[in-house]
Amino acid sequence: MRYYAYSNDKLISGKIKGIVIDFFGLGGQAMFHEDTETGKFYASHGVIFVVPYTNPWGWMNRDEVGLTDEIIDTLLAKYGLGEETPIISTGGSMGGLACIVYTKYAKRTPIGCVANCPVCDLPYHYTERVDLPRTIYSAFYGYDCSLDEALKSCSPLHLAPTLPEKTEYTIFHCEKDSAVNIDMHSERFVTELSKYRPVEYYKVPDRDHCDLDAENDKKYKEIALSYILKAQK
């Protein structure tokens, strides 16, 4: 599994309380050879933190869903964890889209989702920047439908009415985001999702794309952890 994901599992002593998945943004292709500070934070609370090494241009297409499911399969089997193990999905930018979309298609539905500056309208995002069309086309080229239909199948805004009821959602978005426009993405998604269930929404002033200040970065992690701790009660 170490070839396919970073995991902090070896740092955990005692009972494993849950799993937090974190998805890369566009172009993310790092392999971690040392434990991250975030990994150490979750390990100290008995939580596995796992970063799938998915396609840097994946956009949570069906291959990315399948690989993530297999990584979770491996962790559950290795530690004898049951199907009731709470899973949280997190991520920023493309990873923000990924963590939301994964709740829809995952083999085991995450109970919580925390996204940072997520891409929420994928058809709009296709033309939002000149570097995007090739990456999105690459992810969905093989789908047996029109490109527009494929993009909507992995677009949080378009999936909002059908997102799983058991999942709690929290969205952070930096108000000065120059890469993923807050008005076209999180504002519209939160408005749409709010028609179907409560959603927590934090707008972060004076910060650019995914650049949470220390206070909101701490809150981001603590909310993900709180979903797991709540499930333990």
Q: pLDDT tens, 23-36?
A: 999 999 899 999 99
Q: How many whole angstroms separate alpha carbon 199 and alpha carbon 223?
A: 13
Taking the complete model, does pTM exceed 0.95, yes or no?
yes
Residue 36 has a pLDDT of: 95
What topology does CATH give the domain 5-230? Rossmann fold (3.40.50)
Q: What are the residue ranges spanned by the domains of the chain?
A: 5-230
Residue 232 has a pLDDT of: 82
**Mapping DSSP to helix (H, G, I), strand (E, B) and coil, where does residue 45 land?**
coil
Long-range contacts of 122-125 (CB under 8 A, 24+ apart): 122/59, 122/97, 122/151, 122/152, 122/154, 122/155, 122/156, 122/157, 122/158, 123/148, 123/151, 123/152, 123/155, 123/158, 124/184, 124/185, 125/180, 125/185
Residue 179 has a pLDDT of: 98
Residue 233 has a pLDDT of: 72
Within the chain, which residues score under 50 in pLDDT?
Answer: none
